[in-house]
Amino acid sequence: MSLAFNLLLGIAAFTAMEVAAWATHRWIMHGFGWGWHESHHRPRTGPFERNDRFVLIFSGIAVALFAIGKYGTDWAWPLAWGVTAYGIAYFLMHDVLVHRRIRLPFHPTRGYLGRLVAAHHLHHAVNTKDGAVSFGFLYAPPLPRLRAQLRALRHPASQA
């Protein structure tokens, strides 16, 4: 396969992972997976939380794609690299930048990174399974829209 096609597949996998992560966060983590994810909405008591189990599941997808690429078809390699690149970006943005599991000398408050941080803090304004906003990790809707959604979820009668 051509380099351009491989790059396109990798970029497509990376992009698809943001969609998959949004859907997983919205419908699984804040659904039947709340038993694991709830730990993420509580103060951490150690270096790990039950929510970290989801990382193992997503990592398994990348490992499976690498294995398919090794023992099967070539198209799986760029998909595996796209999923892996997303995992790295997720870790850096979500775990390092937003939740500061690794302390950096700066904490963004403006621009794209500031918007991601603020959107995720709006997500954590709700510590329950229902009523949260902003389920993406590398894309965040405009903050005024998220604030309005959060208000509407908190006070549904006043929105009529």
The pLDDT value recorded for residue 154 is 87
Q: Say if residue 123's pLDDT is above 90.
A: yes
Label residue 158 by pLDDT band (50, 70, 90): low
On average, the pLDDT of the chain sits at 93
Label residue 72 by pLDDT band (50, 70, 90): confident
- Average pLDDT (111-133) is 95
* Phi and psi angles of residue 94, each rounded to the nearest 5 degrees, phi first: -80, -55
Query: Which one-letter amino acid corresponds to residue 60?
Result: G
Q: Outline where 24-52 has alpha helix (H).
A: 34-37
Closest among 28, 50, 34 to 129, alpha carbons compared: 34
* Phi and psi angles of residue 43, each rounded to the nearest 5 degrees, phi first: -60, 135
117-127: buried (b, 16+ CB within 10 Å) or exposed (e) per residue? Answer: bbbbebbeebe
Helix (H, G, I), strand (E, B) or coil at 145: helix
- Average pLDDT (21-35) is 97
Q: Is the pTM of this model over 0.85?
A: yes
Q: Say if residue 160's pLDDT is above 60.
A: no
d(CA 59, CA 17): 12
